[in-house]
Amino acid sequence: MHAAKKWIASCLMLTVAGGLLTPQAAQASSVQDLQNKKGHLEADIKAAKADRDKTAGNKRSNAQALEAIQTGISTTKQRIGILSDQLAVSEGRISAKEVEIAEKQKEFDARKATLNSRLVEIYKKGDNNFIEVLFQSEDFSDFLTRFEYMSLIAKKDQDLLREIAEMQKSLQAERSALQEEKSHYTALKAEQESHQAGLQRQEAEKQELAKNLDAEEASLNERIAAMNAASIDIGNQIVAIQQREAEAARARAAQIQAQQAAAARGTSVPANIPDAPITVSAGGYVWPVPSSHYVSSRYGPRVYPFGGTDFHMGQDIAAPTGAPIVASRSGKIILQVYHPSYGNYVVVDHGDGVSTVYAHMSGFASSLGANVNAGDIIGFIGSTGDSTGPHLHFEVRINGQHTDPAAYIGC
């Protein structure tokens, strides 16, 4: 039972030691930095939300623009439909006129053939004077005029000439009307193509506007989500640091209570402990209790003083209460706290994964986070925690794992 208690206490000690590797001053600074960073993030989040709201407002405003574009698209489509109907009608008229002109041209050609036959007959009768007059005509119109007034031409021939002249004028009018219809058709076609191109531009503008607004809103939402996550993470870091600081404060309060209890039991640090010589092992480690080299319990399996057996993780050096305890190597005090099993204890980190532990102290001589040299006094012999008398419980740990201290400081 006691062995299990000792083992659990040791594990707890190492857990606490691992959590307090950062000096308290650095932690306080980190909390302030994190709080500042969190404040900046919250301001950025607020600004981003304002941008998102503005984008949403723009989206609502642009909804009217989109509606106007859509109205324009509908109007354009309607106009294109009307033009398509007009083009179809115009194409029908053009086809009908072309058929009508072809028929009139055929009739006109037949009448001209009849006229040519009449001229041949006149020529055969030998009226050279009449023929000469006709051949002096400057054009076909002049020719008809001369022919009309020739007394030799019968009434029937004159009627024929008039019909031919009227048909010629009608054909010219029909061809002019056809040309106008074709021009009208070409204008309608050009307008239709222009509206069709405008329709495509409106559709593209509508799609681009909607896409840009959606993309901007999605980007802002993603940015806000990322900043919210960062703010939560920073908040968690602050809480974790504050919890560690609270635990350290409770440990310091327990330490003060232990020191006060020790003083009440008459185990206060005496002021007349004589100085003792510092000894250094072959491995370069200083013997941690200069005033005593009496090893009362070595590293390894043993009979536990409170009953049963356990594995002793360090080396006990018995000495009078208040005798100085020195750092075995240069390093930094990373833990200085009270524990029910180890009592008042100190952990010094020497770098390269090497640390030393000093337990059951009656009091501390340095402060947490202090840099110490080999041989500097860091505390005093006591019997705090699970202890049967004043001594130093000394450990050497490599990467957190205990090992035989005798290999480093000797016996």
Mean pLDDT over 68-97 rounds to 76
Q: What is the DSSP string of 208-274?
A: HHHHHHHHHHHHHHHHHHHHHHHHHHHHHHHHHHHHHHHHHHHHHHHHHHHHHHHHHTT-PPPS-PP
- What's the pLDDT at 5? 39
CB 211 within 8 A of CB 66: no
Question: Which of the four pLDDT bands, split at 50, 70 and 90, describes residue 290?
Answer: very high
CB 350 within 8 A of CB 335: no
The tokens describing 15, both together, are 């857990």
Q: What is the DSSP string of 68-137?
A: HHHHHHHHHHHHHHHHHHHHHHHHHHHHHHHHHHHHHHHHHHHHHHHHHHHHHHHHHHT-HHHHHHHHT-
- What's the pLDDT at 16? 35
Mean pLDDT over 73-80 rounds to 77
Please name each of the domains of the chain with its CATH number: 44-225 (1.10.287), 273-409 (2.70.70.10)
Rounded-to-integer distance, Cα 50 and Cα 198, Å: 36
Mean pLDDT over 31-58 rounds to 74
Weakest-pLDDT range from 142-156, 306-320, 333-347? 142-156
Tens-digit pLDDT profile for residues 160-205:
777 777 877 877 887 787 788 788 888 888 887 888 888 788 888 8
Question: Which of the four pLDDT bands, split at 50, 70 and 90, describes residue 23?
Answer: very low
Mean pLDDT over 264-283 rounds to 52
Hey, which of 52-56, 142-146, 256-260, 290-294 has the most confident mean pLDDT? 290-294
Rounded-to-integer distance, Cα 5 and Cα 34, Å: 38
Of the two residues 396 and 43, the one the predictor is more confident about is 396
Question: Which of the four pLDDT bands, split at 50, 70 and 90, describes residue 97?
Answer: low
Using alpha carbons, list the distances in angstroms from residue 368 to 21, 31, 342, 381. 10, 19, 17, 18
- What's the pLDDT at 345? 95
**Is the Cα torsion angle 235, 239, 240, 241 positive or negative in sign?**
positive
Asked if pLDDT for residue 3 goes beyond 50, the answer is no
Q: What percent of the chain has pLDDT over 70?
A: 66
- What's the pLDDT at 323? 94
- What's the pLDDT at 316? 95
Mean pLDDT over 366-378 rounds to 94
Average of per-residue pLDDT values in the chain: 75
| CA 176 to chain CA mean position, Å | 70
Which helix (H) or strand (E) segment holds residue 397: the answer is: strand 391-398
Q: Which residues, 6 or more positions from 153, have their beta carbon under 8 angstroms from its beta carbon? A: 147, 161
Asked if pLDDT for residue 318 goes beyond 70, the answer is yes
Weakest-pLDDT range from 125-129, 190-194, 296-300, 351-355? 125-129
